[in-house]
């Protein structure tokens, strides 16, 4: 294993430790958000479809049609999920894709 690989492995390990500590120290807040998300059909669909394969517009349109809610409602809830830390974005060219941050699991 090269020196660079060892450093990257060590950084990855330390980041994992930080994530665990952050989750533990904020467990009450995370549970409060999870409860809010579980009780809302739009949040639930957004979490289930956010696997990085649908662009922002595709995701909003699909859920809007499936649930019969306005796209602006879906967009707002998508933004809220990102703010809560349940979703992260990935930009590919001009498109933005959402995927789970694994905080909900």
pLDDT of residue 38: 86
Residue 52, sorted as left (phi over 0), alpha (psi -120 to 50) or beta, turns out to be left
* Residue environment code for 70-80, b if the CB has 16+ CB neighbours within 10 A, otherwise e: eeeebbebbeb
Q: What is the CATH number of the domain that holds 56?
A: 1.10.10.10
Confirm whether 50 is domain-assigned: yes
Confirm whether 15 is domain-assigned: yes
Q: Are 85 and 36 in contact (CB under 8 A)?
A: no
**Which structural domain range is residue 66 located in?**
3-100
Reported as a single tens digit per residue, the pLDDT across 39-97 is 899 999 999 999 999 999 999 999 999 999 999 999 999 999 998 888 999 999 999 99
Q: Are 98 and 92 in contact (CB under 8 A)?
A: no
Confirm whether 105 is domain-assigned: no
Give, as one character, the DSSP assignment of residue 104. -
Look at the chain and report how many structural domains it folds into.
1
Reported as a single tens digit per residue, the pLDDT across 17-52 is 887 778 778 788 888 888 888 889 999 999 999 999
- Compute the distance between CA of residue 88 and CA of residue 8 in angstroms, rounded to an integer: 22
């Amino acid at each position: 294993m090269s020196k660079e690989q060892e450093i990257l492995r060590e950084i990855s390990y330390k980041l994992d430790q930080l994530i665990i500590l952050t989750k533990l120290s904020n467990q009450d807040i995370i549970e409060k958000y999870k409860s809010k998300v579980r009780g809302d059909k739009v949040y639930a669909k957004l979490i289930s479809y956010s696997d990085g394969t649908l662009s922002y517009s595709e995701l909003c349109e699909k859920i809007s049609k499936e649930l019969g809610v306005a796209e602006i409602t879906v967009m707002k809830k998508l933004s809220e999920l990102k703010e809560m830390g349940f979703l992260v974005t990935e930009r590919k060219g001009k498109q933005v894709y959402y995927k789970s941050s694994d905080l909900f699991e």
